[in-house]
Protein backbone atom coordinates (compact mmCIF):
# COMPACT_ATOMS: atom_id res chain seq x y z
CA UNK A 1 0.00 0.00 0.00
CA UNK A 2 1.38 3.44 -0.92
CA UNK A 3 0.97 6.45 1.32
CA UNK A 4 -1.38 9.22 0.12
CA UNK A 5 0.65 12.16 -1.31
CA UNK A 6 1.38 14.83 1.28
CA UNK A 7 -0.99 17.77 1.10
CA UNK A 8 0.30 21.32 0.85
CA UNK A 9 0.81 22.66 4.35
CA UNK A 10 1.84 26.28 3.72
CA UNK A 11 -0.05 29.40 4.80
CA UNK A 12 -3.34 30.65 3.35
CA UNK A 13 -2.87 33.18 0.53
CA UNK A 14 -5.53 34.86 -1.58
CA UNK A 15 -4.95 35.87 -5.20
CA UNK A 16 -7.07 37.11 -8.08
CA UNK A 17 -6.93 39.43 -11.09
CA UNK A 18 -8.96 41.23 -13.70
CA UNK A 19 -8.02 41.67 -17.36
CA UNK A 20 -6.99 45.09 -18.63
CA UNK A 21 -9.26 44.60 -21.62
CA UNK A 22 -11.78 47.43 -21.25
CA UNK A 23 -13.95 49.22 -18.75
CA UNK A 24 -15.19 47.34 -15.72
CA UNK A 25 -18.85 46.60 -15.11
CA UNK A 26 -21.17 45.66 -12.27
CA UNK A 27 -20.50 41.94 -12.84
CA UNK A 28 -16.77 42.48 -12.27
CA UNK A 29 -17.58 44.59 -9.22
CA UNK A 30 -19.97 42.16 -7.52
CA UNK A 31 -18.30 38.93 -8.70
CA UNK A 32 -14.72 40.02 -8.08
CA UNK A 33 -13.79 43.49 -6.71
CA UNK A 34 -16.23 43.57 -3.79
CA UNK A 35 -15.22 40.04 -2.82
CA UNK A 36 -11.47 40.93 -2.84
CA UNK A 37 -12.16 43.77 -0.43
CA UNK A 38 -14.23 41.58 1.90
CA UNK A 39 -11.44 38.97 1.98
CA UNK A 40 -8.31 41.13 2.19
CA UNK A 41 -8.19 41.03 5.99
CA UNK A 42 -8.43 37.25 6.17
CA UNK A 43 -5.00 36.42 4.63
CA UNK A 44 -2.18 38.01 2.59
CA UNK A 45 -3.86 39.11 -0.65
CA UNK A 46 -2.34 39.51 -4.13
CA UNK A 47 -4.46 41.29 -6.74
CA UNK A 48 -3.03 41.92 -10.18
CA UNK A 49 -4.06 43.64 -13.40
CA UNK A 50 -3.97 40.92 -16.03
CA UNK A 51 -2.33 42.69 -18.97
CA UNK A 52 -0.65 39.49 -20.24
CA UNK A 53 -4.11 37.94 -20.42
CA UNK A 54 -5.55 41.05 -22.06
CA UNK A 55 -3.30 40.75 -25.13
CA UNK A 56 -4.67 37.28 -25.97
CA UNK A 57 -7.09 39.41 -28.01
CA UNK A 58 -6.00 42.59 -29.78
CA UNK A 59 -5.38 45.56 -27.48
CA UNK A 60 -4.49 48.99 -28.83
CA UNK A 61 -0.94 49.66 -27.53
CA UNK A 62 -1.85 53.34 -27.19
CA UNK A 63 -4.43 52.57 -24.50
CA UNK A 64 -3.25 49.38 -22.75
CA UNK A 65 -1.22 51.19 -20.07
CA UNK A 66 -4.16 53.52 -19.34
CA UNK A 67 -6.49 50.51 -19.08
CA UNK A 68 -4.04 48.93 -16.64
CA UNK A 69 -4.11 52.05 -14.46
CA UNK A 70 -7.91 52.17 -14.70
CA UNK A 71 -8.25 48.64 -13.27
CA UNK A 72 -5.75 49.50 -10.53
CA UNK A 73 -7.80 52.63 -9.77
CA UNK A 74 -10.92 50.45 -9.53
CA UNK A 75 -9.18 48.15 -7.03
CA UNK A 76 -8.17 51.04 -4.80
CA UNK A 77 -11.51 52.86 -5.19
CA UNK A 78 -13.40 49.70 -4.25
CA UNK A 79 -11.53 49.56 -0.95
CA UNK A 80 -8.40 47.44 -1.50
CA UNK A 81 -5.74 48.88 0.77
CA UNK A 82 -2.39 49.01 -1.09
CA UNK A 83 -0.47 48.85 2.19
CA UNK A 84 -2.18 45.62 3.01
CA UNK A 85 -2.90 44.02 -0.37
CA UNK A 86 -0.27 43.62 -3.08
CA UNK A 87 -1.62 45.35 -6.21
CA UNK A 88 0.52 45.01 -9.36
CA UNK A 89 0.56 44.71 -13.16
CA UNK A 90 1.03 41.07 -14.19
CA UNK A 91 3.58 41.87 -16.92
CA UNK A 92 5.82 43.68 -14.41
CA UNK A 93 6.56 40.33 -12.74
CA UNK A 94 8.30 38.35 -15.48
CA UNK A 95 8.12 35.17 -13.41
CA UNK A 96 4.46 34.75 -14.49
CA UNK A 97 5.51 34.13 -18.10
CA UNK A 98 8.36 31.80 -17.16
CA UNK A 99 6.21 29.60 -14.93
CA UNK A 100 3.49 29.58 -17.61
CA UNK A 101 6.01 28.08 -20.05
CA UNK A 102 6.90 25.31 -17.60
CA UNK A 103 3.17 24.65 -17.08
CA UNK A 104 2.61 24.58 -20.87
CA UNK A 105 4.83 21.52 -20.76
CA UNK A 106 2.87 19.97 -17.86
CA UNK A 107 -0.71 20.61 -19.07
CA UNK A 108 -2.16 18.24 -21.68
CA UNK A 109 -3.79 19.32 -24.95
CA UNK A 110 -6.88 17.28 -24.06
CA UNK A 111 -7.36 19.34 -20.91
CA UNK A 112 -7.29 22.62 -22.83
CA UNK A 113 -9.57 21.24 -25.54
CA UNK A 114 -12.31 21.01 -22.93
CA UNK A 115 -12.19 24.70 -21.89
CA UNK A 116 -15.56 26.24 -22.70
CA UNK A 117 -14.39 29.86 -22.43
CA UNK A 118 -11.97 29.36 -25.34
CA UNK A 119 -14.81 27.96 -27.42
CA UNK A 120 -17.03 30.95 -26.55
CA UNK A 121 -14.33 33.57 -27.09
CA UNK A 122 -12.83 32.11 -30.28
CA UNK A 123 -16.28 31.75 -31.86
CA UNK A 124 -16.69 30.05 -35.21
CA UNK A 125 -13.15 30.73 -36.46
CA UNK A 126 -10.95 29.16 -33.83
CA UNK A 127 -8.05 28.80 -36.27
CA UNK A 128 -7.84 32.61 -36.30
CA UNK A 129 -7.67 32.92 -32.50
CA UNK A 130 -4.26 33.58 -30.94
CA UNK A 131 -2.34 30.67 -29.42
CA UNK A 132 -2.31 32.79 -26.25
CA UNK A 133 -6.11 32.69 -26.05
CA UNK A 134 -5.91 28.89 -26.16
CA UNK A 135 -3.27 28.63 -23.44
CA UNK A 136 -4.83 31.42 -21.33
CA UNK A 137 -5.86 29.01 -18.53
CA UNK A 138 -2.26 27.75 -18.26
CA UNK A 139 -1.06 31.31 -17.66
CA UNK A 140 -3.84 31.62 -15.10
CA UNK A 141 -2.49 28.53 -13.30
CA UNK A 142 0.95 30.16 -13.27
CA UNK A 143 -0.50 33.41 -11.87
CA UNK A 144 -1.96 31.51 -8.94
CA UNK A 145 0.73 28.93 -8.19
CA UNK A 146 3.61 31.42 -8.55
CA UNK A 147 2.50 32.74 -5.14
CA UNK A 148 1.33 29.36 -3.83
CA UNK A 149 -2.10 30.98 -3.50
CA UNK A 150 -4.58 28.72 -1.74
CA UNK A 151 -7.82 30.67 -2.28
CA UNK A 152 -9.02 32.39 -5.46
CA UNK A 153 -12.14 34.60 -5.37
CA UNK A 154 -13.70 34.62 -8.86
CA UNK A 155 -17.04 34.64 -10.64
CA UNK A 156 -18.77 31.44 -11.73
CA UNK A 157 -17.30 31.69 -15.27
CA UNK A 158 -13.81 30.92 -13.93
CA UNK A 159 -14.69 27.65 -12.19
CA UNK A 160 -13.43 25.41 -15.00
CA UNK A 161 -10.12 27.30 -15.19
CA UNK A 162 -9.60 26.81 -11.45
CA UNK A 163 -10.16 23.07 -11.88
CA UNK A 164 -7.45 23.09 -14.56
CA UNK A 165 -5.09 24.91 -12.16
CA UNK A 166 -5.64 22.14 -9.62
CA UNK A 167 -4.93 19.49 -12.30
CA UNK A 168 -1.69 21.24 -13.28
CA UNK A 169 -0.57 21.57 -9.65
CA UNK A 170 -1.33 17.91 -9.02
CA UNK A 171 0.47 16.72 -12.14
CA UNK A 172 3.54 18.88 -11.44
CA UNK A 173 3.71 17.54 -7.88
CA UNK A 174 3.45 13.96 -9.20
CA UNK A 175 5.78 14.34 -12.21
CA UNK A 176 8.56 15.89 -10.16
CA UNK A 177 8.06 13.71 -7.08
CA UNK A 178 7.28 16.79 -5.01
CA UNK A 179 4.16 16.01 -2.96
CA UNK A 180 2.57 19.16 -1.56
CA UNK A 181 4.97 21.42 -3.51
CA UNK A 182 2.12 23.39 -5.05
CA UNK A 183 -1.22 23.77 -3.25
CA UNK A 184 -4.45 22.73 -4.95
CA UNK A 185 -6.17 26.13 -4.77
CA UNK A 186 -9.81 26.51 -3.83
CA UNK A 187 -12.10 28.70 -5.93
CA UNK A 188 -14.19 31.05 -3.76
CA UNK A 189 -17.41 31.45 -5.72
CA UNK A 190 -19.92 32.71 -3.19
CA UNK A 191 -22.76 35.16 -2.73
CA UNK A 192 -25.88 36.11 -4.67
CA UNK A 193 -23.99 37.61 -7.67
CA UNK A 194 -21.41 35.07 -8.84
CA UNK A 195 -22.85 35.35 -12.35
CA UNK A 196 -24.44 38.73 -13.07
CA UNK A 197 -26.37 38.55 -16.31
CA UNK A 198 -26.84 41.06 -19.12
CA UNK A 199 -29.59 43.63 -18.51
CA UNK A 200 -30.87 42.89 -22.03
CA UNK A 201 -30.77 39.10 -21.97
CA UNK A 202 -31.13 36.99 -18.83
CA UNK A 203 -29.35 34.07 -20.50
CA UNK A 204 -26.08 35.94 -21.32
CA UNK A 205 -23.37 36.96 -18.85
CA UNK A 206 -22.85 40.69 -18.28
CA UNK A 207 -19.63 41.22 -20.20
CA UNK A 208 -17.19 43.95 -21.23
CA UNK A 209 -17.28 42.73 -24.80
CA UNK A 210 -21.09 42.79 -25.26
CA UNK A 211 -21.65 45.24 -28.15
CA UNK A 212 -24.69 46.77 -26.37
CA UNK A 213 -23.75 49.30 -23.68
CA UNK A 214 -27.32 48.94 -22.35
CA UNK A 215 -26.48 45.34 -21.39
CA UNK A 216 -24.21 46.42 -18.54
CA UNK A 217 -23.67 49.03 -15.85
CA UNK A 218 -20.13 50.34 -16.19
CA UNK A 219 -18.27 51.36 -13.06
CA UNK A 220 -17.74 54.79 -14.63
CA UNK A 221 -21.45 55.33 -15.47
CA UNK A 222 -23.03 58.34 -13.78
CA UNK A 223 -26.27 58.24 -11.77
CA UNK A 224 -28.48 59.12 -14.77
CA UNK A 225 -26.95 56.37 -16.92
CA UNK A 226 -27.37 53.80 -14.14
CA UNK A 227 -31.03 54.75 -13.56
CA UNK A 228 -31.79 54.76 -17.28
CA UNK A 229 -30.17 51.35 -17.90
CA UNK A 230 -32.06 49.78 -15.00
CA UNK A 231 -35.32 51.35 -16.20
CA UNK A 232 -34.73 49.87 -19.67
CA UNK A 233 -33.61 46.45 -18.34
CA UNK A 234 -35.61 43.62 -19.85
CA UNK A 235 -38.17 42.15 -17.46
CA UNK A 236 -41.55 40.43 -17.55
CA UNK A 237 -44.87 42.06 -16.58
CA UNK A 238 -45.47 39.92 -13.45
CA UNK A 239 -44.98 41.17 -9.89
CA UNK A 240 -42.06 39.68 -7.95
CA UNK A 241 -42.80 36.21 -6.56
CA UNK A 242 -42.53 35.18 -2.93
CA UNK A 243 -40.36 32.06 -3.36
CA UNK A 244 -36.87 31.46 -4.72
CA UNK A 245 -38.20 28.55 -6.81
CA UNK A 246 -40.65 30.83 -8.63
CA UNK A 247 -37.89 33.44 -9.09
CA UNK A 248 -35.55 30.91 -10.68
CA UNK A 249 -37.98 30.38 -13.55
CA UNK A 250 -37.75 34.10 -14.45
CA UNK A 251 -34.07 34.78 -15.35
CA UNK A 252 -34.33 38.56 -15.83
CA UNK A 253 -36.19 39.05 -12.53
CA UNK A 254 -33.78 36.66 -10.80
CA UNK A 255 -30.83 38.69 -12.09
CA UNK A 256 -32.18 42.03 -10.81
CA UNK A 257 -33.04 40.54 -7.41
CA UNK A 258 -29.53 39.01 -7.23
CA UNK A 259 -27.95 42.39 -8.04
CA UNK A 260 -30.07 44.08 -5.36
CA UNK A 261 -29.14 41.41 -2.80
CA UNK A 262 -25.41 41.65 -3.53
CA UNK A 263 -25.41 45.46 -3.38
CA UNK A 264 -27.39 45.47 -0.11
CA UNK A 265 -25.39 42.59 1.44
CA UNK A 266 -28.59 40.61 1.80
CA UNK A 267 -29.82 37.25 0.51
CA UNK A 268 -32.27 36.99 -2.39
CA UNK A 269 -34.82 35.59 0.09
CA UNK A 270 -34.53 38.73 2.22
CA UNK A 271 -35.08 40.93 -0.84
CA UNK A 272 -38.13 38.90 -1.87
CA UNK A 273 -39.53 39.10 1.65
CA UNK A 274 -39.65 42.88 1.17
CA UNK A 275 -40.69 43.15 -2.49
CA UNK A 276 -42.86 40.07 -3.19
CA UNK A 277 -46.10 41.12 -4.87
CA UNK A 278 -44.62 44.45 -6.08
CA UNK A 279 -44.16 45.17 -9.77
CA UNK A 280 -41.00 46.40 -11.52
CA UNK A 281 -42.47 49.93 -11.44
CA UNK A 282 -41.58 49.88 -7.73
CA UNK A 283 -38.59 47.53 -7.73
CA UNK A 284 -36.55 49.11 -10.54
CA UNK A 285 -36.42 52.64 -9.00
CA UNK A 286 -35.46 51.09 -5.64
CA UNK A 287 -32.68 49.10 -7.32
CA UNK A 288 -31.48 52.17 -9.23
CA UNK A 289 -31.31 54.22 -6.01
CA UNK A 290 -29.37 51.47 -4.26
CA UNK A 291 -26.95 51.05 -7.19
CA UNK A 292 -26.27 54.79 -7.32
CA UNK A 293 -25.76 54.91 -3.53
CA UNK A 294 -23.27 52.01 -3.56
CA UNK A 295 -21.43 52.67 -6.83
CA UNK A 296 -21.35 56.49 -6.66
CA UNK A 297 -18.46 56.69 -4.15
CA UNK A 298 -16.47 54.03 -6.08
CA UNK A 299 -16.95 55.92 -9.35
CA UNK A 300 -15.99 59.23 -7.73
CA UNK A 301 -12.78 57.81 -6.25
CA UNK A 302 -11.92 56.06 -9.53
CA UNK A 303 -12.25 59.33 -11.42
CA UNK A 304 -10.04 61.10 -8.88
CA UNK A 305 -7.35 58.43 -9.17
CA UNK A 306 -7.52 58.34 -12.95
CA UNK A 307 -6.83 62.07 -12.94
CA UNK A 308 -3.68 61.39 -10.88
CA UNK A 309 -1.80 58.61 -12.73
CA UNK A 310 1.35 59.23 -10.67
CA UNK A 311 -0.48 58.13 -7.51
CA UNK A 312 -1.66 54.92 -9.19
CA UNK A 313 1.85 54.30 -10.57
CA UNK A 314 3.34 54.56 -7.07
CA UNK A 315 0.98 51.82 -5.90
CA UNK A 316 1.80 49.62 -8.91
CA UNK A 317 5.58 50.07 -8.58
CA UNK A 318 5.54 49.17 -4.87
CA UNK A 319 3.14 46.27 -5.50
CA UNK A 320 5.28 44.84 -8.32
CA UNK A 321 8.32 44.91 -6.08
CA UNK A 322 6.51 43.05 -3.30
CA UNK A 323 5.06 40.55 -5.78
CA UNK A 324 8.53 39.84 -7.24
CA UNK A 325 9.92 39.26 -3.76
CA UNK A 326 7.20 36.69 -3.11
CA UNK A 327 7.44 35.04 -6.53
CA UNK A 328 11.21 34.78 -7.06
CA UNK A 329 11.99 32.11 -4.43
CA UNK A 330 9.02 29.95 -5.51
CA UNK A 331 10.11 30.11 -9.16
CA UNK A 332 13.71 29.32 -8.15
CA UNK A 333 12.52 26.21 -6.30
CA UNK A 334 10.37 25.24 -9.29
CA UNK A 335 13.32 25.60 -11.68
CA UNK A 336 15.38 23.36 -9.42
CA UNK A 337 12.61 20.73 -9.34
CA UNK A 338 12.48 20.74 -13.15
CA UNK A 339 16.26 20.34 -13.25
CA UNK A 340 17.24 23.57 -15.01
CA UNK A 341 20.87 24.48 -14.85
CA UNK A 342 22.10 26.93 -12.27
CA UNK A 343 25.74 27.48 -11.38
CA UNK A 344 26.93 24.87 -8.93
CA UNK A 345 23.72 22.80 -9.11
CA UNK A 346 23.41 19.08 -9.92
N1 LIG B 1 -21.06 38.86 -15.25
C2 LIG B 1 -20.25 38.55 -14.25
N3 LIG B 1 -20.75 38.20 -13.04
C4 LIG B 1 -19.93 37.89 -11.99
N5 LIG B 1 -18.58 37.92 -12.09
C6 LIG B 1 -18.04 38.26 -13.28
N7 LIG B 1 -16.77 38.38 -13.72
C8 LIG B 1 -16.76 38.77 -15.01
N9 LIG B 1 -18.01 38.90 -15.47
C10 LIG B 1 -18.84 38.59 -14.41
C11 LIG B 1 -15.61 38.14 -12.87
O12 LIG B 1 -14.75 39.28 -12.95
C13 LIG B 1 -13.41 38.84 -12.81
C14 LIG B 1 -12.56 39.43 -13.88
O15 LIG B 1 -12.99 39.04 -15.16
P16 LIG B 1 -12.04 39.35 -16.40
O17 LIG B 1 -12.21 40.73 -16.84
O18 LIG B 1 -10.65 38.97 -16.08
O19 LIG B 1 -12.54 38.37 -17.47
P20 LIG B 1 -13.95 38.01 -17.98
O21 LIG B 1 -14.58 37.03 -17.05
O22 LIG B 1 -13.72 37.54 -19.35
O23 LIG B 1 -14.80 39.37 -17.93
P24 LIG B 1 -15.79 39.91 -19.02
O25 LIG B 1 -16.40 41.17 -18.57
O26 LIG B 1 -16.72 38.85 -19.45
O27 LIG B 1 -14.81 40.30 -20.17
P28 LIG B 1 -14.83 39.93 -21.69
O29 LIG B 1 -16.09 40.51 -22.22
O30 LIG B 1 -13.60 40.59 -22.19
O31 LIG B 1 -14.82 38.44 -21.76
C32 LIG B 1 -13.41 37.31 -12.82
O33 LIG B 1 -13.33 36.85 -11.49
C34 LIG B 1 -14.76 36.99 -13.39
O35 LIG B 1 -15.24 35.75 -12.93
| 156-204 per-position pLDDT tens digit | 889 999 999 999 999 999 999 999 999 999 999 988 889 999 999 999 9
pLDDT at position 4: 63
Atom of ligand 1 nearest to the CA of 53: 18
- Determine the average pLDDT of the residues in 270-281: 96
- Angstrom distance (rounded) from CA 237 to CA 235: 7
| Mutate which of 20, 32, 51, 52 for ligand 1 pocket (most atoms within 8 A of beta carbon) | 32
Residues 6+ apart with CB under 8 A from 317: none
Whether residue 208 lies in the annotated active site? yes
Atom of ligand 1 nearest to the CA of 117: 22
CA–centroid distance, residue 247 to ligand 1 (Å): 24
Q: Name beta bridge partners: 49.
A: 18, 89
Whether residue 121 lies in the annotated active site? yes
- Strands (DSSP E) along the chain, which ranges? 14-19, 45-50, 86-89, 151-153, 186-188
Ligand 1 environment, Cβ below 6 A: 18-19, 21, 27-28, 31-32, 50, 154-155, 157-158, 194-196, 205-209
Model pTM score: 0.93
Whether residue 337 lies in the annotated active site? no
CA–centroid distance, residue 93 to ligand 1 (Å): 22
Q: Measuring from atom 14 of ligand 1, which residue has the nearest CA?
A: 18
**Averaged confidence pLDDT in the chain:** 95
Express each pLDDT in 102-136 by its tens digit: 999 999 999 999 999 999 999 888 999 999 999 99
Which has the minimum average pLDDT: 47-61, 181-195, 217-231? Answer: 181-195
**What Cα–Cα distance (Å) separates residue 225 from each residue in 71, 195, 230, 305, 346?**
21, 22, 9, 21, 63
Atom of ligand 1 nearest to the CA of 157: 35
pLDDT at position 1: 45
CA–centroid distance, residue 19 to ligand 1 (Å): 8
Amino acid sequence: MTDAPAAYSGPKRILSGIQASGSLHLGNYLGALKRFVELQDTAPTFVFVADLHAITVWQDPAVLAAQTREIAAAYIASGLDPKHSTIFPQSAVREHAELAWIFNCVARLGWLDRMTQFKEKSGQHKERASVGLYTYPVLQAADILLYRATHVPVGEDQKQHLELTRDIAQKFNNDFSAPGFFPLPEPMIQGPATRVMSLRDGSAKMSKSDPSDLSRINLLDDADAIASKIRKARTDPEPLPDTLEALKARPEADNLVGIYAALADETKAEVLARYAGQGFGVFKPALAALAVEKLGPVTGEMRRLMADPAEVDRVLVAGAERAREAAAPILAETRAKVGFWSAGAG
